[in-house]
Amino acid sequence: MNIAPRDPDDRDPSPDDDVSAHRHGSFFGRRKGHKLRSHQADLIAQLLPRLALDITAPSPDGLARLFGPDVDHVRLEIGFGGGEHLVAEALAFPTTGFIGCEPYVNGMAKILTQIEAHGIGNIRLFAGDAADLVAWAPALSLARIDLIHPDPWPKRRHWKRRFVQDLTVAAMARVLEPDGEFRFVCDIDGYVAWTLAHLLRSPDFAWLAERADDWRQPWPGYTMTRYGRKAEREGRRAAYLRFRKVA
């Protein structure tokens, strides 16, 4: 299998890396990666604390409370990389709240730049482990969860690091609304098969594909990420999987 590593700016960090986290108003970025520009560093110091979730506090009655009164649904994107998809979705759906989870400091700096440039008010950020965030979130509080081009962790001994596991599938089912969706995009066949196996054996999810194009083609309105374009240039075709939570 042809497995290309993700670019450093897109890569989900290993548990062995110096992973970024937001604790008590401070941002601890992974030391590896490109040096931040001065303005990016200012955004990390000044804008991020206003948008960052503190999961050491009790979770609210509903995640919509984290946003303004116009927000009626909340979605989560796990590992947003450069933020292309998340920003496009937030601009397209102003009455939906978006939570972006990304432990990599350069990715966080990039999305903060876009949030500032576009004046986006319906994004909140979490710079830590998505599993911890999902565990903190109230039940039935998310309309959708997106996992787009995650690190495939191709070596067998690293498979336990993949986000999709039986326990996380059950955790997603807890926080998704009835008929909520989990959407997964990946250009690595092994991880696609892994995800299908885990979701199909879950009693909480139904795969929405009825024909081949339902997983071979992006869903309407999908914003291609930088990594997705790179995969296409290198001849790797992504699968676009949608799973509905069974009410």
CA torsion angle for 52, 219, 222, 99 (degrees, to 10)? 0
CB 210 within 8 A of CB 141: no
- Smallest CA-to-CA distance from 21 within 66, 52, 43 is with 52
Residue 16 among the catalytic residues: no
Which of 151, 166, 187, 204 is the catalytic position?
Answer: 151
Burial of 207 (C-beta count, 10 Å sphere; 0-12/13-18/19+): middle
Question: Which amino acid does the sequence have at 91?
Answer: L
Amino acid at 176: L
Catalytic residue annotation: 151
